[in-house]
Amino acid sequence: MDLDAVGAVGHSAGGGTVLTAANDPAIDGYVSMASGVPGGDDAPTLPAKPSFFLAGSLDAVVPPERTQAAFDVAPAPTLLWIIEGVGHNGFDDFCTFGDGQGIIGVAIASGLGALLEESQPALKALGEDGCVPPAVPVDDTFPMINHAVTSWLHQPVPGSTASRWVWVPRWPTPTRCPSRSRYGTDRLFDPAVNPCGSATGSQ
């Protein structure tokens, strides 16, 4: 473990927590998925550190506009992916169990389906978001998300003399990723290789 290069990653409420934690001097960069800047007087000021924001176009829990708003106020260098066909739980492993329905599938298999339908419809909607159609199957999208975040975290920290290029292969998936970026003179993703990344500037 290299404690001289620390990145913070969070999803949903964890993604909001990461935006505050990123102000810690020990954090060199951060990834926030399916989240946004918390509102009110406690809203954090996003630090001038590398950041990567990801959102799903089908997220009904945290609409992608909230992630977009966080990206808009983040200092460069920063990157935003809004991934077509991904819902809220497309960024975690919930959808990989419960017969593809996530934790809701587990509850239904346990005989709790009627209770969820009648008493907890909001909880059912949260648990299913991104796991069921029209969301793209997570078997197609989660490997891409996992690889993209891992690759981003492997970039050298600012001030390093090493190359800033990150290799991201072509994805065997129908998912497309409209993206925006602010890099200054750094370039982290090669759009000739990665159809979901875009960058400006040069090495």
Contact 44, 70 (CB under 8 A): no
> Has residue 127 been placed in a domain?
no
Q: Does 96 or 147 have the greater pLDDT score? A: 147
Please count the structural domains in the chain: 1
> Has residue 174 been placed in a domain?
yes
* Residue pLDDT, tens place only, 152-185: 888 765 554 433 333 333 333 333 344 565 544 3
> Has residue 115 been placed in a domain?
no
> Has residue 62 been placed in a domain?
yes
Q: Does 101 or 12 have the greater pLDDT score? A: 12
Q: What pLDDT does 92 receive?
A: 85
Output the pTM of the full model: 0.74
Burial classification of residue 18, based on how many CB atoms lie within 10 Å of its CB (0-12 exposed, 13-18 middle, 19 or more buried): buried
Helix (H) or strand (E) run with residue 21 in it: helix 13-21
> Has residue 106 been placed in a domain?
no
> Has residue 69 been placed in a domain?
yes
* Residue pLDDT, tens place only, 32-44: 999 998 776 677 8
| Alpha-carbon distances, residue 29 vs 10, 97, 129, 140, 141 (angstroms) | 12, 31, 28, 27, 23
> Has residue 83 been placed in a domain?
yes
Sequence-distant (≥ 6) Cβ neighbours of residue 144 within 8 angstroms: 83, 171, 173, 175, 196
**Mean pLDDT computed over every residue of the chain:** 75
Could you tell me which residues are beta bridge partners of residue 52? 31, 79
Question: Over 50: is that where the pLDDT of 73 sits?
Answer: yes
Share of the chain above pLDDT 90, in %: 36
The phi and psi torsions of 52 (rounded to 5 degrees) equal: -140, 120
Boundaries of domain holding 38: 7-93+135-182
Q: What pLDDT does 185 receive?
A: 33
| Alpha-carbon distances, residue 39 vs 36, 44, 85, 113, 188 (angstroms) | 9, 9, 27, 34, 30
Share of the chain above pLDDT 70, in %: 70
CATH number where 173 lies:
3.40.50.1820
Could you tell me which residues are beta bridge partners of residue 166? 189
> pLDDT band at 70, cuts 50/70/90?
very high
